[in-house]
Amino acid sequence: MSENIKDECGVFGIYDKSRLGNIAQQVYFGLFALQHRGQEAAGIAVNNDREITLVKNMGLVSEVFNDSILAKLNGEIAIGHVRYSTTGNNTPENAQPISVKYAKGNLTVSHNGNITNAKELRDKLEAKGAIFHTTSDSEVISYLIAIQRLKSKSIEEAVEKVFPMLQGAFSLLIMSPRKLIAVRDKFGIRPLCMGKLQDNVIFASESCAFETIGATFERDVRPGEIVIVTEEGIESNEKYCGHSGGLCIFEHIYTARPDSVIDGQGVNEARMNAGKMLAKIAPADADLVIGVPDSGLPAAIGYSHQSGIPYGVGLIKNRYIGRTFIQPTQAMRERSVALKLNTLKSNVEGKRLVMVDDSIVRGTTLANIIKLLKRSGAKEVHVRISSPPFIYPCFFGTDIPSRKDLACNNYTMEELRQKIGADSLAFLDVKTVDKIAPDSKVTFCKGCFTGKYPCKVPCEKDDKNILG
């Protein structure tokens, strides 16, 4: 199993009223900006006069698509997806978008999140004769909407009926023959925002994707909101709005790109705030502050600003090694650290270092990084983590595994310090983590730190008491 936290998925969609150009190319660039959210598979579906053309496959966006493929994907509505598998196997069949044909036509769905009651819903559908082609919870959502559409006057009415059936995290883009619909679960666990490019309406998991295609950010989709875009304009259904929210705090700590703004809070600023607060509660006597690329860098800069200890580059990242790099043996896992990260020896040799990272999962990668630094002559390595300890799993789309695999759940602080080889070790505390995002318009889910979730979650065999 990988040491690094894997990301959720990313979604991107356009309703192209003005036919500005190749719609698939716009989605392609948008997905490129969201590539950090999923590197296992990518897909684009385009609606051209009610005919759906779908291209998806395993790999990065640049590996799945080329100019000749994009040139053939013409239409007025399009949605795309980059995937990391949280529910369902990592296979071509589970790549998204998911497209189904039924009595009312075509229905295509892109989903970011994790439906915690997906197995229960799937079992009920199969008992009534449904045949599934994937193991993804996104196909369950598609089936439910299709069934309700047969009993409803419109696709948006069907979506409204399905909404309360779904538990967990879901930021959805739904494409029907004439409409593009965006849906965010009532807790807003996963981000979703809306932008504009002239008359065109755009949705994306993160605001950074808008700038990539020259669009402007309009607003976040509210927790519980259903936004319907047609040729006539934009409608909003706020029937399920009203909750204060439950955005995954890990979006600000690790997942989102630093240039994104989520629910009013700039991600880079949140990470710098985490570093500043970490310096206050866990000072260190050191010569240099360094960060573990990439998400640890803003927090390291914040730690430096608050502590007065100079910030410097201590680790160089190989940009051509992806997060999904295969590491089948322990020896290869250790070697992969040297492939991904190298030390800048001239900066770290003879120095007492504060090394800031975003999290500790199993601890193996961090231990190997510390070995690299000390081999390069670092006198001391004081590890500071810009999140609280992970002691519970995540059920909403972030790959935080079972409690038995979490280092912070298996070792005392001192045992963990010794395990990774650090000279000292400290984390941001749970009470402080709320304060890193003072401009956020929503509250946060911190279930992986506290075991308290915004909604009911499945029980692990060894976690019988963690129900929201």
* 346-365 core/surface letters (b: 16 or more CB in 10 A; e: else): ebbeebbbbbbbbbbbbbbb
Q: What's phi and psi for 387, nearest 5 deg?
A: -145, 165
**How is 405-434 classified by DSSP, letter by letter?**
G-HHHHS-HHHHHHHHT-SEEEE--HHHHG
The Cα–Cα gap between 75 and 14 comes to 10
Burial 267-280 (b: 16+ CB within 10 A, else e): bbbbbbbbbbbbbe
Task: State both tokens at 35.
Answer: 């590539």
Range list of β-strands (E), 231-349: 233-237, 247-248, 261-262, 265-266, 288-291, 315-317, 341-343
Residue 409: name the closest of 389, 394, 391 by CA.
391
9, 394, 445, 448: the active-site residue: 9
Pairing of strands 315-317, 41-48: unpaired
Strands of the sheet with 168-175, listed across from one edge: 98-102, 105-115, 168-175, 180-184, 226-230, 233-237
Instruction: Give, in order, the Cα–Cα distances in Å from 2 to each of 251, 441, 457.
Output: 19, 33, 24
Name beta bridge partners: 44: 55, 80
Asked if 447 contacts 392 with a C-beta cutoff of 8 angstroms, the reply is yes
Exposure string for 307-320, b = 16+ CB within 10 A, e = fewer: bebebbebbeeeee
Instruction: Give catalytic status of residue 9 as yes or no.
Output: yes
Q: At what angle do helices 137-149 and 155-162 cross, to 10 degrees?
A: 120
- With b for 16 or more beta-carbon neighbours within 10 A and e for fewer, the 44-80 pattern comes to bbbbeeeebbbbbebbbbeebbeeeebeebbbbbbbb
Radius of gyration, CA atoms only, the chain: 22
Report whether 251 contacts 257 (CB < 8 A).
no
Q: Where are the beta strands (DSSP E) in 73-124?
A: 77-83, 98-102, 105-115
The two tokens of residue 454 are 């915004």
Task: List residues with catalytic annotation.
Answer: 9
